[in-house]
Structure 1
Amino acid sequence: MRMPYGVPKPLDTPNEEMRGLETWRELPPTHYILKIESFTSLVRILKKTSLDHYESKEFKASGHNWMLLLYPWGDEKRNGSHHISLYLKSMEYYKVEINALVIFFVYDQLKDKYWSIQDKTARNFHGQDESGVSQLVSLKRFEDASNGFLVNDSCVFGVEVFAIRSGNKGERFRTLREQSKSVYIWTVQKFSELKATGHFSEPFSVGGFKWRLHLYPEGIPKAKGKYLSIYLCLHEESESPPGSEKKKQYESQLPSGKRMHVEFKLSINNQVKDKEPKKLSEIGKVWFSAVETAWGFPYFAHLDYLRWRRSDFIYKDALLIELQIISMSLDTSLSPP
């Protein structure tokens, strides 16, 4: 049994302010349990040595060192007479400021449950400060065995400590483009001569970002030979300086931690006036990021249908693709100040 080596500083706030949510639970305290098998012996030893409280061993919780202080007949200096007083003491030897939410526990041995008092607000510790509840439970209630706290001269206390770190993690969502009706038209010439591996449009700018369309005239591998596939892509290629022998560099427009929600509409236009359908269209609502830079439709249009309507949609071996970016919104992770 470890005895106190110092006199506690009177830094506790009034008990009624420190009392928070009182609850019962079956799970034991996560961070530290103090079990006393002979309460009367502890009281006798403390009084014999002219000490008024018992100090637990040091323990680690939430990345800091702590100690539990128990006043078995109450902390008279902080209005705790005739009560059990329980405090948490920071054991950081350097002047470290800690803000923490603290939960104190007393075990009811008859119910086999823990009665707890949880803080309403964070407690502040600086260096070796201490804070707790001076009137945790009255001695009259505690010593009455029918209440379950002190049974066969044994009792159990505990604590959980959750240090609050100023990480300021979060995110900000802002709209870049709202309900735009403007469109980008891509005329794909010599459609029948395009390579099956895909064909890119020229880069174009919308909402402060560069984009390209990627057309697979015979479909991506899982749709190959049956469907035409079209994708909207963030343009990741940065051009090398003229005359440079360096290879083209690829750099994401969306750094790690940023996402962009885009609602867009892709269409293949009927090039014969007053003929239905006027368009074959699909609408996408997707998130772009540094990893996900391309979204689209692997099964955009059945190739048999396009061949059947060849004079309408593939007019003079040209395909007319229309893109409308309806809205763009940026989701950015917040960083600490």
Structure 2
Amino acid sequence: MLGFCLETEEKGAQPNSILGEAHYLNKDDLDISSRDYKGSPSNLVTGMRDRPPMSYSLRMESFNTLLQSNETERYESRPFPVGGYNWSLIVYPNGNRQDSGSGFISLYVAVDNSTLVSSHQEVFADLRFYVFKRTERNFFTVQDTDVWRYNIFKTMWGFPRVLPLDTFRNPSNGYLFNGDNCEFGVDVTVHSPFESSELFTVSRNFPNPRFTWTIQRFSTLVGDTHLSNTFSVGGRNWNIQVNPRGRSTGAGRAMSMYLILNANEKVRPNEKIYVRARLRVINQRIFSLLWTTIERPIDHWFTTPGLGWGYDEFISLDDLRDFWKGYVMGDVLIVEVEMEAISSTNYFPS
């Protein structure tokens, strides 16, 4: 049963999680309290919120009159639409005795059977109930972290013990204000199965992960930008781009080198391709102990064909021109990329 600590509330502290059960009541058989749903303490949460309810608000200006009535067990709001169904907020001013709610405010939400398409249809909904607290100008709320399952056999769900009546009726607590006014509310969120999804996968083992580009007559290259032949890894086409005289911060100081997503690749809107790779300038002096192959990592999300990622200053022009360092020999430069991981995303529907 849903309970609430009176001492905590009167001190204005944050309420603790509700301990107890949430019960189903058949709208057409209120004398029977179904116990087929057990709410665990870890699933029930209370709190205070500044934001008012989104789905429906019920303000009462004669609450004590209902409390004194022997003929009025509950008040049911007019139907309100949410998610294609009609719902009603139900308040038991003296508590729902058939659901162990005597001495408490009981709150429920019922679905209109006529809005259920078929007798076998089930509707899953999140419920958050609100009770306005005038002294703090915010709302005490209670909810279950699990969804509630509605069908023609289970049309009403809620909490029999939201607040003790003594707590609710004490003017100093602020739930009854201006003599006899109070306000309740509810958020109803209808869950429907998702219609769109995606599957993100990262592949790591490729049959031919390495592409090597041997650039002949390197010193005679004309133009600022040069692209390798297209190569395929991980279901995508790629190029290596070199700028022999450098670009951006490397202009005139270093050779720039980048991994490029081929300009003819088809990338869907909002699609991102994760790539982890290694770019290299190969040292051609096999037995060199002082100078080794230069390697730099790529860890990037590619989104636009024809663009890429790399380094404006991959290797200095002085090192390239130094024959003894072995990066350009016989006017040949060898560069390489090794692809370590490439992502793919499947969208449903495609």
Shift of 1:112: 4.7
Structure 1 Cα separation of the partners of residues 306 and 65 of structure 2: 67
Structure 2 Cα separation of the partners of residues 207 and 111 of structure 1: 59
Partner residue of 2:157?
131
Q: Given the alignment, which residue of 95, 101, 113 partners 1:74?
A: 95
Contact 1:10 1:78 (8 Å CA) reproduced: no
Structure 1 Cα separation of the partners of residues 325 and 51 of structure 2: 76
Structure 2 Cα separation of the partners of residues 224 and 10 of structure 1: 83
Shift of 1:103: 1.4
Given the alignment of the two structures, is residue 150 of structure 1 paired with residue 172 of structure 2, yes or no? no
Shift of 1:102: 1.0
Q: How does 1:82-231 map to 2 (within 5 A)?
A: 82-90=103-111, 93-95=115-117, 97-110=122-135, 112-126=137-151, 129-151=155-177, 152-167=179-194, 169=197, 171-177=199-205, 183-221=210-248, 223-231=250-258
Contact 1:70 1:84 (8 Å CA) reproduced: yes
Structure 2 Cα separation of the partners of residues 94 and 22 of structure 1: 29
Contact 1:98 1:126 (8 Å CA) reproduced: yes
Distance change >3 Å, CA 198–CA 334, structure 1 → 2: same
Distance change >3 Å, CA 173–CA 36, structure 1 → 2: same
Contact 1:261 1:286 (8 Å CA) reproduced: yes
Distance change >3 Å, CA 51–CA 23, structure 1 → 2: closer
Please report the TM-score for the alignment, with normalisation by the length of structure 2.
Answer: 0.72
Partner residue of 1:242?
none
Contact 1:258 1:333 (8 Å CA) reproduced: no
Deviations 1:3-40 (A, max 9, x none): xxxx9435875498357524231414331332212212
Superposition CA RMSD, Å: 3.8
Shift of 1:277: 1.1
Q: Given the alignment, which residue of 283, 300, 304 partners 1:286?
A: 300
Q: Given the alignment, which residue of 284, 296, 299 partners 2:310?
A: 296
Please report the TM-score for the alignment, with normalisation by the length of structure 1.
Answer: 0.74
**Gapped regions of structure 2 (runs ≥ 5):** 1-25
> Mean alpha-carbon deviation: is it higher for 221-230 or for 113-122?
221-230
Residue identity over aligned pairs, in percent, reads 28
Structure 1 Cα separation of the partners of residues 219 and 110 of structure 2: 79
Letter in 2 for 1:191: F
Distance change >3 Å, CA 324–CA 98, structure 1 → 2: same
Shift of 1:189: 1.2
